[in-house]
Structure 1
């Protein structure tokens, strides 16, 4: 009787485990199956179907650099310039080291009408930005964890080393490693904020008239599909943007701030 009761309890626990976790496992398997089906459609040359399946994966709340890269490639094959640029940018936002996405992005930008070249920053500022953005938030997080482990090793050296020189190395080395870990943590948080909101947008309309004010009559300039501009904020059905333009009267590059309809732009 005791053996039967024990078996009944085990079966009940297994059934409860299945009820709790099998739906999550099935839910996790669904986007993977869709992603694989999208890859097969892309390989077969059925690019519209590939785009539809990749979009279905996104609709389930799953995002990755590989997903954006593949989606960008499918759009590029269909000559969808703006969606291709958008997804290459999103891929690099999550993985700045993705060389194929960077190459394809440069290739796609050759087809953009508006050549909005950014104003070069001071070389030190640019070096720091490239250094910070050269790794993803996850990589900076792992670097911070590694530095903390090394700091613990330095602490052990401080506590148990017999020689005063080694204890001194453990003390100052531990302080330096902890400070570097805090810096890496800050860089990880900064990269995370950029991954969630880059502050840039891609023009999706063939012709987007930049207005002086929302629903205004005055046109400041016109932008074309694929142009990359600063996405400042949304005000109703309008998005406030900024871009660098050459002021012929002043003879210098200035910031032009204006508004485009929300339908004309997508946020990276």
Structure 2
């Protein structure tokens, strides 16, 4: 009975994948025809079925951008960037989308060694760093076995040097993987969806207003108290915003 069940799951999964591919192509056709509302509806049906990819988020963002939906377009571009951090098309289009925002917030640049580490870490996502570290560990094992069983002195020397090199590389890559995961956990990016939101000094409505933010502005969530989120801007300013006024980018 189990083999039949597994075959059914496989066939169902394959069929679902094919259906989503068809829906994706149909949505692309609608988009190319200028029917952005229907294209967006089609893309969303794929998303509702639990399918996630940088391409899907990118196309959803493009449709929102064409419809002048400021916050949703930036939100989905940011989600696409999480999966493809250095994609030139995504970076180019999100720059256009951010031009529609009202808030002009300066970014305090990182300097020194921490900037180099962060830039290096961002070249790959956590999953890719993890896969690369596993591949290097496997390579180390294979090379070490070659060193152990080889009868030739020259081959043993080469195998030993390359195995040690691969082990060191695996440790470095593993460090990048953990750093990437740590950044992901701390870097709870969110986008303001309210047309205008009052940012408070304390997490309650009676607190004094610190400043205002408008839709499409990118913030970092650093704390939560009931239905309030403490946010930090790229210029270092902090304050409290009502949870319903933002959407967390890292929520999948």
Find out whether 1:30 has 2:9 as its counterpart.
no
Rounded Cα–Cα distance in structure 1 between residues aligned with 2:232 and 2:137: 41
Aligned to 1:178: 167
Q: How does 1:117-266 map to 2 (within 5 A)?
A: 117-164=106-153, 166-191=155-180, 198-217=187-206, 218-245=208-235, 255-266=236-247
Shift in alpha-carbon separation, 1:152–1:26, aligned structure 2, 3 A: same
Could you tell which deviates more after superposition, 202-211 or 30-39?
30-39
Aligned match of 2:61 in 59, 67, 72? 72
| Cα gap change, 1:190 to 1:258, in 2 (>3 Å) | same
User: Are 1:57 and 2:49 counterparts?
Assistant: no
TM-score by length of 1: 0.80
- After superposition, the Cα gap between the structure-2 partners of 1:193 and 1:65, relative to the gap in structure 1 and judged at 3 Å, is farther
What is the total number of aligned residue pairs between the two structures? 248
Q: Deviations over 1:53-102 (max 9, x none)?
A: 22221111111100111011001101111111111111111111311001
Computed over aligned residues only, the root mean square deviation of the Cα atoms, in angstroms, reads 2.7
Give the TM-score normalised by structure 2: 0.85
1:162: Cα distance to partner? 4.2
Unaligned 5+ runs, structure 1:
1-11, 246-254
SS in 2 for 1:223: strand
Distance in 1, Cα, partners of 2:182 & 2:80: 15
Find the residue that maps to 2:30 and give its secondary structure. helix
- In the alignment, structure 2 segments of 5+ residues that lack a partner are none
Structure 2 counterpart SS, 1:118: coil
From the CA coordinates, give the structure whose radius of gyration is larger. 1
Q: CA deviation at 1:17?
A: 6.6
Change in 2 beyond 3 A, CA 1:33/1:216: same
Distance between the aligned counterparts of 1:86 and 1:200, measured in 2? 10
Answer whether contact 1:202 1:266 (CA < 8 A) is retained.
yes
Q: Following TM superposition, by how much is the alpha carbon of 1:164 offset from its aligned partner in structure 2, in angstroms?
A: 4.1
* CA pair 238-16 structure 1, distance change in 2 beyond 3 A: closer
